[in-house]
Amino acid sequence: MTLSFFDQFMSPTYLGIPLIALALTLPWILFPTPSTRWLNNRLITLQGWFINRFTQQLLLPLNLGGHKWAVLLTSLMLFLITLNMLGLLPYTFTPTTQLSLNMGLAVPLWLATVIIGMRNQPTAALGHLLPEGTPVPLIPVLIIIETISLFIRPLALGVRLTANLTAGHLLIQLIATAAFVLLPMMPTVAILTSIVLFLLTLLEIAVAMIQAYVFVLLLSLYLQENV
């Protein structure tokens, strides 16, 4: 059976049961749990320092009303980073390459920020649809454009994460296949290709972390507009 490059993005199944649920549960098992001791080990201390720094940076532009989202946004950030990083290991499946999963995360959270804005400050929330000082003939057109851009936000969140991770995985597979094919024919070119593959893998590790951060950062910016 001939396999295509896109087969790596198919959700694996075992006895007809999709294993994406296992892939989504695994990251929470890997995190070290804090202990009741006064002095923790280095791993828990590093984890706590990272979470504190990220939370402070994320909540810096938000007022006190948005600080209620600290646990949710920080947990989502750690969850996405772990899923993206585990997907770079050999013979693993990356759930965040599935647009359905990313949209399932983006749409409810974006909708929650919109509902909060409509409930707490409906005038200011609707005011974002019409910039101040707009000429009267352009008012209907701008309202339509701003409304479309508002509803495109969750789609942009999901597609951005899916496209970046999918493109990176495809590029890694293409270069790895080229290095494997060129090894018996042109060993020097294969070695150079392997070096490029190693550098690309380092780049994909950075992309996996950055895309998770961008996803949560954009959600915090949407929250800032409505809180």
Of 217, 216, 209, 196, which is closest to residue 86 (Cα–Cα)?
209
Residue 211 is predicted with a pLDDT of 93
Per-residue model confidence as pLDDT tens digits over 93-126: 888 888 888 999 999 999 999 998 888 888 877 7
How many whole angstroms separate alpha carbon 28 and alpha carbon 41?
A: 19
Residue 2 is predicted with a pLDDT of 47
| Largest interatomic CA distance in the chain | 70
List the domain range (segments joined by +) for residue 20: 5-224
Q: Which residue has the tokens 């290095």?
A: 179
Helix axes 187-226, 70-86, angle to 10 degrees: 170
Q: How many distinct structural domains can be found in the chain?
A: 1
Residue 28 is predicted with a pLDDT of 76
Helix axes 99-120, 139-182, angle to 10 degrees: 150
Residue 6 is predicted with a pLDDT of 67
Contacts of 1 (CB under 8 A, 6+ apart): none
| Low-confidence stretches of the chain (pLDDT beneath 50) | 1-2
Residue 1 is predicted with a pLDDT of 37
Residue 183 is predicted with a pLDDT of 87
Strand-pairing partners, residue 128, are: none
Residue 103 is predicted with a pLDDT of 92
CB 9 within 8 A of CB 98: yes
Q: Which residue has the tokens 């007809």?
A: 16
Q: Amino acid identity of 133?
A: G
Contacts of 146 (CB under 8 A, 6+ apart): 128, 129, 130
Residue 5 is predicted with a pLDDT of 67
Q: What is the pTM of this model?
A: 0.84
77, with CB counted inside 10 A (0-12, 13-18, 19+), is buried
